[in-house]
Amino acid sequence: MAKTVREIAAQLVAGRSRKPEQREPAIATASDFAPLDRQAYERFRRQLTDAGYQHVADYRVDSVYGEVETRRHWPVIVRCMLSADGAVCANYYQMRPRVVDNLIALAGRALRGGLGSTGIAKLWRSVATEHLYDFESEIGTTYLGTSTAVAASAFTSPPEVSMQFLPRGTSLTSVRATHESRIREAIARGAGEPTRMASLKESQAMEARCDAAKYAHRAKIGWVTQDELYAILPANRQMAEAIYREVELINRGAQGL
C-alpha cells in the first residue's frame, strides 16, 4: 500500500530526529556474509592493503534507513580499514535487497496496474546490490567525507562537515585518491592536523563527533527543508511541497504550537 504524504513526512522527521547513540558495534560473523558478495569485501581489503591501509574490523549495522527499509535489505556489514598514518577511516559496505520479498511486493503492484516507469526503476533497485565506499577524516574541527552514497547528497551538512559525493560506480582507487587529496588541501589551508586513529573504537568516536554535528544541524533546520525535498523529488515539486507542509505541522505539534 502506498504511503500517505503524512506518513512520508513522519518517516523523514523520525529518521532525522533520532539522536545518534554510540554503541558497541556488533562484530560480523562468517554467517553475516552469507547473503552478500564476499569477494567484493576481499577486493576492497586487498586494494587498500596494497596502499598501506590496515584492516580494523567488520561490523554489522542492523538498521540504516529505518525498520521498513531493514525489512527490504539484508543487514549491512561494514568493513573498516585505517590508513597507515591513521588519518583516514575507509569503509566499504553493500546494500543488498531481499530479492524475493521485494519482487513479491512489486508483482502485487504490477497486477494492480501500478508499476509504470518508476516501478520498473524500483524493480531494478529491488534486485541490484549497491557497493558503497565512505572515506572519513577529522582535520582540526572539520570533518571530511568522500562517499559514493549519492542518495545522501540531497541533505545539507553543517559548515564543519565537508562532504563530497562521487557517482555510483566510481572506482575505489578514485575515491581514495580524491579523499587523500582533500586532506592535503585542508591541511594546506590551515584547517589543522588530522586526528590519528589506531582502532575501531577511535574511528567510531570520530564518526560519533561528526554525527553529533550533523544532528545539531538537523535540529536547527527543522530536520528536513523544502529545498532538500525538491532535491529528493526533482520531478514532483508539488509532492515535495505537500510533504514539507506536513513536516511543518509535525514540528509545530512537537513544539506544542
**Could you tell me what percent of the chain has a pLDDT over 70?**
83
Strands across the sheet containing 76-82:
26-27, 54-61, 76-82, 89-95, 130-139, 142-147, 161-165
Which of 118-132, 176-190, 229-243 is least confident? Answer: 118-132
| pLDDT value of residue 82 | 98
**pTM (2 d.p.):** 0.85
- Looking at the predicted structure, is the pLDDT value of residue 89 above 70? yes
> DSSP class of residue 133?
E
- Distance, in Å, from the CA atom of 2 to the CA atom of 83, rounded to the nearest integer, reads 45
100-157: pLDDT as tens digits? 444 444 444 444 444 444 444 444 445 588 999 999 999 999 999 999 999 999 999 9
In 3D, which of 235, 241, 227, 242 has the Cα closest to residue 117? Answer: 235
18-71: pLDDT as tens digits? 888 878 899 999 999 999 999 999 999 999 999 999 999 999 987 554 444 445
